Amino acid sequence: MALFHSVFITRPLWHSLKLALFALLLVSLSGCGLDRYVPSWPGSGGGGRPAGQRRAARTPRAPSQAPQTKPSPPLVAEYTGPAVFNALGADDAERLALRLSPASQSLHSFRDLESSLRVSLEYAARQPQRQAALVRPAGSLTWGQVTKTLRDLLSVLPRLDAEPELLSQNFVWYELAPNPLLTGYYSPEMDASPVRTPGYEYPLYAAPDDLKNGARNYDRRSIDLDGALAGRGLELAWLPNPADPFLLQTEGGGVLRFPDGRTQGVHFAGTNGMEFNGLGQILLDSGVLPKERLSRENIRQWCAQNSAQAMELMTKNRSYVFFRFTAAAGEGSLGKPLTPLVSLATDPSLLPMGAVAALDVPLPSSSGPLRGLVLAQDTGADIRGLRLDLFLGGGAQAERLVSSLRTPAALHLLVSKSALRAKVNE
């Protein structure tokens, strides 16, 4: 059953469908088994906002099919059709629930999700509960329903290791089609100095007030080559390599290591809103590095040896990301630390912040797929529409995985059945 009905369904037909589904609800509540009840949540065919480069969307696959294990090469084709959420039947939802594995997310138990769930719950509970968290032309999901879903999941969490079928009995699984593109990001660690000094010549900037107020936009050339922000006290730190600020901007944050041994987290604080182009692609297109040498260390080495040329080439990416200091490394848009292999960066028009979903995706150079519960806890300047970005943590292993993770993924939004019944009864 389609959660988000096609844009081609007429209003009279949709009205009839709603009446029929409401009748089904009354029957189910008066005696039919709750585990067979699939409630109706009106939706739409509208997708998220467009991004820059994105591979073409794949044809939706049936829930029983395994995700493709071979990532496709990047394409510039943009998916422009409707994003549809389809409610699964009880049997399909139970089958998928039984396949979930906390171990595939480096967790010992479903109970290890508790702290991450409470981060999402704290955020969702602060929002106006009757206000829409996810808006579609034909309906919406309220913050109250997101909050109720998180609370209901927390209540069954201690039982899930022994009874994973509770996820199908108490929640409706909505399959997102077409399959979104999944990439990964991580928290890089970089040497830095709090002041400009020989060997540390490249600044990491906080957002200027006039950018926040929309009065002016600065592109990369004006900032890095023309000094548009110099001398305004916006320099958070100075980095040793011209590629380092760019790489931090690509990941949206990281950890700075200062000469005295102190470390400091930095996180995305704003962008100039211009189109983003990756540094590896720029160097490849310019002919200075072949594809097989586009590792982070090779890029950093080339930029260090060719700093003037590197700074000029980087202006082909007009986008610029600004930062703020954070209390912890790997902090997301909810203001709390992210959980590796659990926290997702998403477009809030596709998945509301804090929402719970089940993700099934092959991991490159891994013993098996990741099949687990994930949480929308971050955003990104290039994360728009049918695009998801999975937080991979920090360290060398996460860095290696980032470079190879780019593949279609199966994603199911989970919504509590009791939250949906409450909406119908309002």
Q: Given this model, what pLDDT does residue 187 score?
A: 87
Evaluate whether residue 343 is within a structural domain: no
Residue 268 lies in a domain: yes
What is residue 79's predicted lDDT score, i.e. its pLDDT? 38
- Whether 12 has a pLDDT exceeding 70, the answer reads no
Q: Are the C-beta atoms of residues 154 and 114 closer than 8 Å to each other?
A: yes
**281 and 411 assigned to the same domain:** no
pLDDT at residue 401, as a whole number: 83
Residue 146 pLDDT grade (very low, low, confident, very high; cuts 50, 70, 90): very high
pLDDT at 287: 95
- Which whole number is the average pLDDT over 207-232? 85
In a domain, 64, yes or no: yes
pLDDT digits (tens, 9 = 90+) for 278-335: 999 999 999 999 998 988 889 999 999 999 999 999 999 999 999 999 876 677 888 8
Number of domains in the chain: 2
CATH number where 160 lies: 2.40.40
pLDDT, position 83: 78
Cα(203)–Cα(230) distance, integer angstroms: 9
- Please indicate, yes or no, whether residues 143 and 232 belong to a single structural domain of this protein: no
223-249 pLDDT, tens digit per residue, is 999 999 999 999 999 999 999 999 999
CATH number, domain at 291? Answer: 2.40.240.50
Residue 342: inside a domain: no
3-state secondary structure 328-395: CCCECCCCCECCCCCEEECCCCCCCCCCEEEEEECCCCCCCCEEEEEEEEECCCCCCCCEEEEEEEEC
Q: Let me know whether 152 and 196 are in one domain.
A: no
Q: Is residue 123 part of a domain?
A: yes
Model confidence band, residue 138 (pLDDT cutoffs 50, 70, 90): low
Residues 173, 219 within the same domain: no
* C-alpha–C-alpha distance, residues 424 and 25, integer Å: 9
Residues 260 and 379 in one domain: no
Name 169's bridge partners. none
pLDDT tens digit sequence for 87-111:
999 999 999 999 999 999 999 999 9
373/416 same-domain check: yes
Q: Of residues 55 and 252, which shows the higher confidence score? A: 252
Shared domain check, 151 and 121: yes
Residue 369 maps to a domain: yes
Secondary structure (3-state) at 248: helix
Instruction: With cut-offs at 50, 70 and 90, classify the pLDDT of residue 393.
Output: confident
Residues 306, 378: one domain? no
Give residue for tokens 């909810």: 334
> Cα(297)–Cα(316) distance, rounded to whole angstroms?
21
The label of the residue with tokens 């049997």 reads 91
145 and 268: one domain?
A: no
Q: Are residues 163 and 267 in the same domain?
A: no
More confident residue, 366 or 34: 366
414 sits in which H/E element = strand 410-416
The proportion of the chain whose per-residue pLDDT surpasses 90, expressed as a percent, equals: 56
pLDDT above 50 for 178 = yes
| 65 pLDDT higher than 80 | no
* Region 153-168 average pLDDT: 97
Residue predicted with more confidence, 412 or 36: 412
Please state, rounded to an integer, the average pLDDT across all residues of the chain: 80
Assess if residue 309 is contained within a domain: yes
Query: Residue 227: what residue type?
Result: G
Given a cut of 50, whether residue 57 has pLDDT beyond it is no
Instruction: Show the domain range for 420.
Output: 11-184+350-395+407-425
pLDDT for the residue numbered 15: 42
pLDDT of residue 136: 61
Q: Are residues 58 and 180 in the same domain?
A: yes
Same domain, 162 and 19: yes
Q: For position 80, what pLDDT does the model report?
A: 42
In a domain, 339, yes or no: no
